[in-house]
């Protein structure tokens, strides 16, 4: 969500002519993130987010836009893509695909407690079940094939010890993906990027209320357990070490399982999937850090964070699923 593509007030006014969302009140760039250009867009009729897609193509985008629409219409708290006057939800700005979605209330919690983790786990399970009958199928574009393709590009920047861990984990994940256990894992549309800054809360710290899940533009069809692992690896850890905080992890997993119980195959796959969730983001952060794209406000994340998490997942036995 770095600002790769500048948008002026006049650009926004012209864009709004394609919608029935009122007149422009204000436009403000969102500097967090590294993938798309995002602006908070206020109009005389409401609060929205304008997204300009810098990587995803017009052919890929219907999956994301229609998935959010599908979920919103089933009462899952997600941004709702807005219809234009011609009945479509995707258009272009400065030659790039773009969309306007509703802005959810609340803010993200940088230091979530067990109550935040429980609400996130429950909402994630509801999202998975609501997406099960979504008709469009698109793979997780940052899944195993992308890991295999990207690792050779980042290896030159690593020490021998780092490279050995990266190669060993990738080989294990490649082998696991061919097993009957992996094939039996429940799967479908998944968020694949459910970090704490992609969930909004209202209320107080002690009694939070779910505002909603945002930023679906890394979503894809994957195992739902991978989605849970990605979430747990961010929401339930000590930042400095990557070690799990048991109270947070238990709250997230118990709340999820109360909506969608875990299967025997998921219990077996859990330790491997936690490593998969850490590996995916170590690879992407290495790539963004050492081979960045230019942007006005690009702030790549430190890849050592997920190196620590992956080291933890490989060295410390994973807590069992409920």
**How many residues does this entry show for the chain?**
322
Confidence grade of residue 31 (pLDDT, cut at 50, 70, 90): confident
Q: By C-alpha distance, which of 158, 167, 138, 128 is closest to 262?
A: 128
Q: What confidence score (pLDDT) does residue 300 get?
A: 74
In this predicted structure, the answer to whether residue 154 has a pLDDT above a threshold of 90 is yes
Instruction: Quote the mean pLDDT of the chain.
Output: 95
* Residue range(s) in the chain whose domain bears CATH number 3.90.1200.10: 114-315
Confidence grade of residue 153 (pLDDT, cut at 50, 70, 90): very high
> How far is the C-alpha of 290 from the C-alpha of 303, rounded, in Å?
10
pLDDT tens digit string along 156-183?
A: 999 999 999 999 999 999 999 999 999 9
3-state secondary structure of 121: helix
Q: Which of 29-33, 251-255, 260-264, 285-289 has the lowest mean pLDDT?
A: 29-33
> How far is the C-alpha of 90 from the C-alpha of 62, rounded, in Å?
8
**Angle ∠(277,217,88) on CA atoms, nearest 5:** 155
Say which residues have a Cβ less than 8 Å from residue 160's Cβ, sequence separation at least 6: none
* Residue range(s) in the chain whose domain bears CATH number 3.30.200.20: 9-102
Confidence grade of residue 296 (pLDDT, cut at 50, 70, 90): very low
> How far is the C-alpha of 282 from the C-alpha of 223, rounded, in Å?
19
Which residue would you say has higher pLDDT here, 201 or 30? 201
Portion of the chain with pLDDT greater than 90, in percent: 91
Q: Domain 9-102's class?
A: alpha beta
Q: What is the CA radius of gyration of the chain?
A: 20
pLDDT tens digit string along 180-191?
A: 999 999 999 999
114-315, CATH topology level = Aminoglycoside 3'-phosphotransferase; Chain: A, domain 2 (3.90.1200)
In this predicted structure, the answer to whether residue 34 has a pLDDT above a threshold of 70 is no
Confidence grade of residue 1 (pLDDT, cut at 50, 70, 90): very low
pLDDT tens digit string along 124-142?
A: 999 999 999 999 999 999 9
Question: Residue 200 is inside which H or E element, if any?
Answer: strand 199-203
Q: By C-alpha distance, which of 7, 87, 86, 95 is closest to 48?
A: 7
> How far is the C-alpha of 143 from the C-alpha of 59, rounded, in Å?
19
Q: How much is the average pLDDT of 299-311?
A: 92
Question: Residue 257 is inside which H or E element, if any?
Answer: helix 246-259
pLDDT tens digit string along 48-60?
A: 999 999 988 899 9
């Amino acid at each position: 969500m770095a600002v790769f593509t500048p948008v002026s007030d006049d650009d926004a006014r012209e864009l709004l002519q394609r919608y029935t969302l009122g007149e422009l009140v204000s436009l403000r760039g969102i500097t967090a993130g590294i993938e798309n250009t995002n602006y908070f867009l206020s109009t005389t009729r409401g609060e929205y987010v304008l997204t300009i897609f810098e990587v995803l193509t017009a052919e890929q985008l219907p999956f994301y836009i229609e998935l959010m629409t599908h979920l919103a219409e089933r009462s899952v708290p997600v941004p709702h893509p807005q219809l234009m006057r011609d009945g479509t939800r995707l258009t272009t700005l400065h030659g790039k695909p773009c969309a306007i979605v509703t802005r959810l209330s609340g803010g993200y919690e940088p230091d979530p407690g067990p109550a935040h983790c429980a609400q996130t786990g429950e909402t994630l399970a509801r999202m998975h079940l609501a997406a099960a009958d979504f008709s469009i199928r698109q793979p997780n574009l940052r899944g195993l094939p992308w890991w295999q393709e990207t690792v050779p590009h980042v290896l030159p920047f690593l020490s021998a010890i780092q490279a050995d861990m990266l190669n060993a984990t990738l080989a294990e994940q490649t082998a696991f993906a061919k097993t009957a256990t992996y094939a039996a894992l429940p799967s479908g549309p998944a968020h694949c990027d459910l970090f704490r800054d992609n969930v909004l809360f209202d209320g107080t710290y002690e009694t939070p209320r779910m505002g909603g899940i945002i930023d679906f533009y890394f979503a894809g069809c994957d195992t739902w357990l991978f989605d849970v692992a990605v979430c747990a690896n961010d929401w339930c850890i000590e930042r400095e070490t990557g070690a799990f905080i048991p109270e947070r992890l238990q709250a997230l997993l118990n709340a999820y399982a109360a909506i969608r119980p875990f299967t025997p195959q998921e219990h077996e796959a859990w330790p491997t999937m936690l490593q998969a969730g850490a590996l995916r983001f170590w690879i992407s952060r290495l790539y963004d850090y050492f081979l960045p794209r230019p942007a006005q406000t690009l702030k790549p994340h430190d890849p050592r964070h997920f190196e620590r998490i992956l080291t933890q997942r490989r060295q410390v036995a994973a807590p069992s699923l409920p």
